[in-house]
Amino acid sequence: MTQRAEIDMDGQEPRRPVIDAGAELDPVHPRQPPRPKASATTPVTGLTTDQVAERVARGEVNDVPVRSSRSAVDIVRANVFTRFNAIIGVLWVIMFFVAPIQDSLFGFVIIANTGIGIVQELRAKRTLDSLAVIGEAKPRVRRDGVATTVSTSDIVLGDLVELGPGDKVVVDGELTEADNLEIDESLLTGEADPVLKQPGDQVLSGSFVVAGGGAFTATKVGREAYAAQLAEEASRFTLVHSELRSGISTILKYVTWMMVPTAIGLIISQLVVKDTDLKDSVARTVGGIVPMIPEGLVLLTSVAFAIGVIRLGRKQCLVQELPAIEGLARVDVVCLDKTGTLTEGGMDVTELRPLGGTEEAYVRQVLGALGESDPRPNASLQAIIEAYPDSEEWRCTESLPFSSARKYSGASFSEGNGETSTWLLGAPDVLLPDDDPVLDETDALNRQGLRVLLLTKAAEELDAPSPADGAKPAALIVLEQRLRPDASETLRYFAAQNVAAKVVSGDNAVAVGAVADKLGLPGSERTVDARRLPAERSAMGTEIDANAVFGRVSPRQKRDMVGALQSRGHTVAMTGDGVNDVLALKDADIGVSMGSGSEATRAVAQIVLLNNSFATLPSVVAEGRRVIGNITRVATLFLTKTVYSVLLAILVVCSQVEYPFLPRHLTLLSTLTIGVPAFFLALAPNKERAKPHFVRRVMRYAIPAGLIAAATTFSTYLLARSHYSGPGALDAETSAATLTLFLVAMWVLAIIARPYTWWRIGLVAAMGAGFLLVLVVPWLQDFFALKLVGVTMPWTAVAIAAGGAALLEFAWRAVGRRVPA
Q: For residue 22, what pLDDT is reported? A: 31
Residue pair 645/284 in contact (Cβ under 8 Å)? The answer is no
d(CA 277, CA 539): 75
Q: What is the mean pLDDT of the segment spanning 544-572?
A: 87
- In the listed set 234, 255, 271, which residue is the last one of a domain according to the structure? 234
Which band of pLDDT confidence, cut at 50, 70 and 90, is reported for residue 192? low
Q: Please choose, from the candidates 732, 716, 718, the residue with its C-alpha nearest in 3D space to the C-alpha of residue 789.
A: 732
Distance CA 160, CA 218 (A): 6
Tens-digit pLDDT profile for residues 136-183 = 667 889 988 888 888 888 889 889 999 888 788 888 889 998 887 888
Residues with Cβ < 8 Å from 574, sequence gap 6 or more? 334, 335, 337, 504, 558, 562, 581, 584, 585, 587, 588, 590, 591, 592
Helices (H), 568-616: 582-587, 599-604
CATH number of the domain that residue 599 is part of: 3.40.50.1000
What is the pLDDT of the chain when averaged over all its residues?
A: 79
pTM above 0.85, yes or no: no
Whether residue 777 is contained in a domain is answered as yes
**350: domain CATH number?**
3.40.1110.10
Answer yes or no: do 40 and 87 share one domain: no
**pLDDT given for residue 191 in this prediction:** 59
- 322 and 382 inside one domain: no
Q: Is residue 390 part of a domain?
A: yes
CA distance 232 to 152: 12
**What is the rounded CA–CA span in Å between residue 583 and residue 381?**
24
d(CA 772, CA 672): 11
Residues 479 and 492 reside in one and the same domain = no
pLDDT at 764: 94
* Number of compact structural domains in the chain: 4
Residue 743 has pLDDT above 90, yes or no: yes
User: Is the pLDDT higher at 692 or at 360?
Assistant: 360
CATH of the domain at 695: 1.20.1110.10
The closest alpha carbon to 700, from 651, 636, 766, 605, belongs to: 636
The rounded percent of the chain whose pLDDT value lies above 70 is 85
The answer, yes or no, to whether residue 439 has pLDDT greater than 60, is: yes
For the chain, state the CA radius of gyration.
34
- How far apart, in whole angstroms, are the C-alpha atoms of residue 429 and residue 447? 14
Residue 145, Cβ neighbours under 10 Å: how many? 11
Strand residue runs (E) in 172-315: 172-184, 195-196, 202-203, 208-220
Other C-beta atoms closer than 10 Å to the C-beta of 595 total: 18
| Structural domain span for residue 552 | 317-342+484-612
Q: Does residue 234 carry a pLDDT above 80?
A: no
Q: What strand order describes the sheet that includes 408-414?
A: 343-354, 472-483, 451-457, 420-426, 408-414, 395-400
Would you say residue 133 lies in a domain?
Answer: no
Catalytic residue (one of 159, 172, 184, 337)? 337
Report if residue 654 sits inside a domain. yes
Q: What is the pLDDT of residues 458-490, one digit of tens each?
A: 888 887 878 888 888 889 999 887 788 888 888
337 carries an active-site annotation:
yes
Do 449 and 468 fall within a single domain?
yes
How confident is the model over 258-288, as pLDDT tens digits?
A: 777 887 887 777 766 555 566 766 777 776 7
pLDDT tens figures, 535-544: 787 788 888 8
Residue 533 pLDDT exceeds 50: yes
Residue 135 forms part of a structural domain? no
Does residue 112 form part of some domain?
yes
pLDDT value at 556 more than 70: yes
- Same domain for 155 and 229, yes or no, is yes
- In the prediction, which pLDDT does 1 show? 31
Q: Mean of the pLDDT values across residues 376-384? A: 80
Those residues with Cβ within 8 angstroms of residue 646's Cβ, 6 or more apart along the chain or in another chain: 258, 259, 262, 292, 706
532 burial type by CB count under 10 A (0-12 exposed, 13-18 middle, 19+ buried):
exposed
| DSSP at 412 | E
- Specify whether 336 is located in the same domain as 348: no
Peptide bond into 323 cis (omega under 30): no
Residue 270 forms part of a structural domain = yes
Domain end among 443, 468, 483:
483
Strand partners, 503: 336, 549
Both 707 and 771 in one domain: the answer is yes
CA dihedral 572, 577, 580, 586 (to 10 degrees): 40
The domain boundary residue, chosen from 464, 483, 502: 483
Is residue 630 domain-shared with residue 728, that is, in the same domain? yes
Can you tell me the mean pLDDT for 97-124?
72
* 567: in domain: yes
Highest mean pLDDT among 84-93, 341-350, 390-399, 554-563: 554-563
Say what the pLDDT of residue 33 is: 34
**Helix (H) or strand (E) run with residue 141 in it:** strand 140-143
| Residue 377: DSSP 8-state | -
Check residue 27 and give its pLDDT. Answer: 32
| Maximal CA-CA distance, the chain | 119
